[in-house]
Each structure stands twice: as C-alpha cells, then as structure tokens.
Chain A
Amino acid sequence: MPELLTTTQLSRHFGGTAVVQPIDLQLRQGDILGLLGPNGAGKSTIMRMLCGDLAPSGGRINICGEDLLKRSIHAKRFIGYLPERPPLHREQTVDEFLWDCAHLRGLKRNQVQQAREQAKQRCGLEQTGRRLIRKLSKGFQQRVGLAQAIIHNPRVIILDEPTDGLDPVQIRQVRELIQELAQHRGVILSSHILPEIEASCNRVTILQQGKSVYSGEITPPQQTCYRVGLEQQQAVEAITELNAVAAAEQLHTDSYRITLATGYQASDLSQQIVARGWGLVELKAERLSLEQLYIQATTGGLS
C-alpha cells in the first residue's frame, strides 16, 4: 500500500537544543500511528512540522507524493490538523466557523455545504450549528476542532491529544470516529496517555527527549514473553543461562517473566526447565503490554 506520509531524518533545533533528533516516520492508509512520550518529548513539535506550521531544521516530509517543504500549499491540501488547543474562532457560531474552514481548506463553493453537514454529523454537532463556539462546553469545542480537521476529507489526519477534556462517553465516540476515519486514510495522533494510544493505534513511535526509542507495532510478535511458575525458586541468573532464554525477570518468589531467545519456542523452554528438574507449574504466553514496551523503550531495554 502506498505511503501517505513519510519523514526522512526529520529534525528540529531551537537555538542550540535538539528538540527532535533525526526521525523517520511512515504512515500508510489504514494506519493509526501513535506518538507516545512524556511531556517535552517533542510530540507537538513533530506534529507542528508535519502540518507545515513549523519548518524542520533538517530532513524531508513527503505527503501523498508532495514535498511539504518545497510545495507546501499543495501538500497541505492533504492534511487535517487538530492541535493541542483547538484553533477556534470563539466569537463565531459553529456553522460560520466550519463554513470558513471549508473555504480556507480550498473546497469549492458547491462542496462547502455538504462537507460542513458531513463533518458536523460525524462529530455529533448537528444540534449545535447555530450556537456560539465560546458558549460550548470544552468537550464540544474539542469536537468542533475535530470537525475543522476533517471537513475537507484529508488523506492524512494529524491529531494532537484529541481526547483531551472529553468525558468517557465522548472519548469512546472519538476513538470510534478515528477508527472509522482511518479506514480510508492515515491518522497520526499524539498522547502521553498510554491507554489512549493502546486503544486507538495499531502502530506506535515512542519518543524520549526528542529521540525515537521505539517504532513499530504496539505488540511486536518478536517480543512475546512467557510467564513461568516454578516449584523451586531459582536465581534469575540461573534461568538466563538456559539456551531458550534471552531475558528473565522475577515477578514473585516463584514466578518469572521470560523472553525467549531468537529461534526458540515455548516447547524448548519447557523441555529445558523440566530437564533441570525445577518443577514447571505454569507456562503462559504474555503479550507485552504497551506500558511494558514504553518502560523498556524509555529505560533502554528496546532498540
């Protein structure tokens, strides 16, 4: 499938400080790519560069075949962007604001009405068209921000903390909307909330101090772990000596989390434990959670 967005060695400096170190991102149709990292990791800076609000210090951004730096006006037609603070004109009504947004995004006069109604319907704003934006609740203002990002039916949607300020029902609705939008588009969303990324995304790039420390599937198959219970407590060093074990971690006195070495199966692990007579009582596949992935990535456990 062709890539909707690619960045090559994208970097950004402010003064002498490298806020984003060279990073490569790829986004395909159907992808929901999460940018995950603590505050100050460079997520919003990357988002601003991807939508053309901020020029990178180095590297390239290609959106649907257009170079964002050389042909920014053409490339920006493919982008919908919701920044951390929704860019709203609070003195306008929802209808007026979305009408202007549709024009600004280059829609033709005869397309504007339909695009506005569709965006309102998708974001649950059918009843609020005539209300002033400043009188709406924070959750509804966030929805208006989302509506302006999708009104021109962009191929790439960039969402910075899209569920911020929403109640649990609204969060669920936004997640469903993102899933629906991603079917024919690519979505990049940033968050520092792990469950948010885990619930919405199929791929993740974990950032720390402006550097990508992990990029790939949220649950990479090669990182499958096993939870192992033994009758006889063993030292972690003794377990890691087994050929089938790449890494081991003691969870409780007789319970361990074991990562298999390359080329070994769970059956090899069980045979080696039984052969040593440690008393195997439990062997359970354990998917690496995003939290574990995040902690391993940010503490240097993943490359």
Chain B
Amino acid sequence: MTAYLAWMEWRRLMRTPLAWTVLGLSLCLLSWQFLATLEIFSGMQPSNRSLGLSHHLGLQLFGLASVLILIITPILTIRSFSEAFRNGSYALLSSAPLANITILSGKFLGILIFQLLFTLMPLLLCLSLCIGTELDYGLLLAASLGLFLLSALFTAIGLYFSTLNENPGIAAAGSYGLLLLISLLDQNTESGSFIHWLAWPSHYLDLQLGLVRISDLAYFLILMSLFLGLALYRLDKRRSG
C-alpha cells in the first residue's frame, strides 16, 4: 500500500502546475549554470586548472542544485499534510485502513520520486559532455547521490513541519527557518563539534568532490530518520489530540 500511496502522491503532484513550473525553472537555471561553468573552465589556461571539469561541475552545478532544492522542498512538502489538514482531504487517508507510518512513508516516497527527477537534471546535463570529453563518472554519481540524500533530508524536515500546523504558510516558514539554520551552523563553529556536525554543507561538499564516506551517509540517514520519526509522532499525537 505504501508503494500505491507514493505513486498516487506523485501523480497528484505532477497534475499541478507547481511541479512543472519548478522543474522548468530549475532546468533553465541549471542549464545557465552549466554553460557558465563550461565557459569559465574552457577560458582557463590548462596550467591554471587545479581541478578537472568534473570537479568544477560537481562544485558549481551541484552547488546551485542544492540551493534550488532548499528553496523548492518546503513548497512541495506543505501540500502533504498542512494543506490536507486545512482543506479536509486528510480525512480520506485517516479514515482509510492505513497505519500512520504507511501514510507518512507513501507521502515521503511520492515526493522523493519528484526529487529523483530533479536530481537527474544536473547529472544528465553533465552526461551530455561524455561524447566530447572525459568525465569522472564516479564523482558525478557521488554528487548525484549527495543531492538525492540532501533532498531526502530536506523532504523529511519539510514533512515534519507540514504535520505541525494546519496553516501552510507557517509550515513553510518553519521549514525554511530550520533549513537555513542547518545551512549556516558550520559558520563560526568549531570544526568537529556537534553543532558543526549538524550543518549539511560540509557533508554535501565531500560528496560533491566524489568522496563517499560512511560518516556523511550516516549524517543524512540519521537526520532524515529523526525528522520522519518526529513527523510520525506528530501524526499519532494529532489523532490522540
């Protein structure tokens, strides 16, 4: 049933102009960044190139993609619960023979299908160069994995805030607040401290550079599980009042 719910959520999302607008605008911005990176790289003297093209793409293109995913995700996740609570459509799920964990997993996976499409865009742009140049496929795959894990983490955070409030505006504001906070936590904090560890940019940077480390994967999976667990707690709590 989780798979059907995910499929249903994805189909519903793709029926909205929002999804297509987001994908279209993101593709334009990513393409612009892609061309700009190529232009800068091709204008550099070979002797000044300390990093290869794949590294440049990993840093520039996937860097922009992470910013875009931060902006997009709360807009997608508020629909899942906050808006459904407000317009009454959540009763369809809450009165159906479904456990809260099935509902949450279905909605989470439904958004992840969309995020997967988004993740493929920078990867496909990079792969378009494979005919004319040599690419570091491992690095590009690692960066794509990083972007997907980042979008899964942001989705879990967005879903948690979506379960907190019936007002989609407040839910979105809360998501943006926390996402910005964990984006900036590594600024002016001691490297190696817990607060520093909570910030996502350093973990994402490793993957952008092609370094797949267990500690970075664990960071994304732990925080994602934490916020999904909190969202599940909120759904149970909402039922019991």
Contact = CB atoms under 8 A, between A and B. Distances in A.
B241 A76 contact: no
B8 A86 contact: no
Interface centre among B4, B8, B11, B12 (most CB of A within 10 A): B8
Interface string A84-126: 1111110110001000110111100000000000000000000
Given A55-B239, A81-B95, A100 B90 contact: no
B87 A105 contact: no
B4 A103 contact: yes
A89 B107 CA distance: 14
Given A54-B239, A55-B239, A86-B88, A92 B95 contact: no
Contacts of A104: 1, 4-5, 8, 92-93, 96, 98
Contacts of B240: 55
A251 interface: no
B88 A83 contact: yes
A192 interface: no
Interface in B81-119: 87-99
A58 to B, nearest CB: 12
30 contacts: A48-B91, A51-B94, A52-B94, A52-B95, A53-B94, A54-B239, A54-B241, A55-B239, A55-B240, A55-B241, A76-B96, A76-B97, A77-B97, A81-B91, A83-B88, A83-B91, A85-B88, A87-B88, A87-B89, A88-B89, A89-B92, A92-B15, A96-B11, A101-B92, A103-B4, A103-B8, A104-B1, A104-B98, A106-B96, A148-B92
A74 B97 contact: yes
Contacts of B87: 85
Contacts of A32: none
B16 interface: yes
B15 A105 contact: no
A156 B92 CA distance: 16
A290 to B, nearest CB: 28
Given A53-B239, A92-B12, A100-B8, A73 B98 contact: yes
Contacts of B90: 87
Given A53-B239, A55-B240, A103-B4, A87 B91 contact: yes
Interface residues of A, number: 33
Contact of A14 (B92, B95, B241): B241
A30 B109 CA distance: 42
Contacts of A14: 241
A89 B88 CA distance: 10
B95 A76 contact: yes
Contacts of B5: 104
Most buried by A among B4, B88, B240: B88
Nearest to A45: B241
Contacts of A103: 4, 8
B107 to A, nearest CB: 13
Interface in B1-54: 1, 4-5, 8, 11-12, 15-16
A83 B95 CA distance: 10
| Most chain A beta carbons < 10 A, residue from B4, B90, B92, B99 | B92
Contacts of A96: 11
A92 B13 CA distance: 10
A89 B95 contact: no
Contact of A53 (B4, B11, B95, B99): B95
A187 B86 CA distance: 26
Nearest to B89: A87
Contacts of B95: 51-53, 76, 79, 81, 87
Nearest to A160: B91
Contacts of A86: 88
Nearest to B240: A55
A67 B98 CA distance: 15
Given A73-B99, A87-B89, A104-B96, 18 more contacts: A52-B95, A53-B91, A53-B239, A73-B98, A81-B91, A84-B88, A85-B88, A87-B95, A89-B89, A91-B12, A91-B15, A100-B8, A101-B92, A103-B4, A104-B5, A104-B92, A106-B97, A148-B92
Interface in B195-241: 239-241
Contacts of B99: 73
The 4 closest A-B pairs by CB, nearest first: A85-B88, A87-B92, A81-B95, A76-B97
A104 B8 CA distance: 10
Interface in A14-65: 14, 48, 51-55, 57
A130 B125 CA distance: 37
Nearest to A101: B92
Contacts of B96: 76, 104-106
Contacts of A105: 96-97
B148 to A, nearest CB: 26
Nearest to B17: A91
A101 B4 CA distance: 11
A54 B8 CA distance: 24
A45 to B, nearest CB: 10
